[in-house]
Amino acid sequence: MNTTSLYNILEKEKINYSNHQLLNSGGMIAHYKDITAIIVDEQKADTTVSRNTVLIQELGHYFSGSYYKTDSDYEIIAKAEFKADKRAWKDFFPYERIKLLMKKGYTTATQLAEQFDVEATYMARCLNYYYDNSHGFTDEKVSI
């Protein structure tokens, strides 16, 4: 995914962007009333690929409405993160496009991650989810 396209989404959605040092993460989203901001620690997310990954994952929170407080119980955080990931994968790595790329010979997480300009570990999680929910990529559509 082109970084400029991601910044254009932020602008279109009126999401503020901020570079700030974070303790445990490369990025986070803050939402209060009608104000939303994505904060990226550019020292941790110091490449285009890592920054794209952070932005896509945080946009998953925004588009799915899955927010939580930093002191929330682990179960609440895990559910919100999973919901955000599923939405990000659906929007930015559509199942149909993944299948098409696989037919063209891009079969590893690393190869597919390069096509989307994101981290291979994040793509691997997406692929595992699609595999598990499409009977091994045999279904026409994935159940999200």
The 10s digit of each residue's pLDDT in 45-90 is 999 999 999 999 999 999 999 999 989 999 999 999 999 999 999 9
* Exposure string over 14-43, b if 16+ CB within 10 A, otherwise e: ebeeeeeeeeeebbbbbeeeeebbbbbbbe
Q: Give the model's pLDDT for residue 140.
A: 86
- The kind and range of the H/E element at 16 are strand 16-19
- Name the pLDDT band for 141 (thresholds 50, 70, 90): confident
Beta bridge mates, 28 = 39
Reported pTM: 0.94
Give the residue, 1 or 43, on which the prediction is more confident.
Answer: 43
Q: Is the pLDDT of residue 5 over 90?
A: yes
What DSSP string describes 57-77? HHHHHHHHT----TTS-HHHH
19: which strand partners? Answer: 40
Q: What is the pLDDT of residue 139?
A: 87
Other CB atoms within 10 Å distance of the CB of residue 73: 10
**86-137, pLDDT tens digit by residue?**
999 999 999 999 999 999 999 999 999 999 999 999 999 999 999 999 989 9
The answer to whether 117 and 52 have CB atoms below 8 angstroms apart is yes
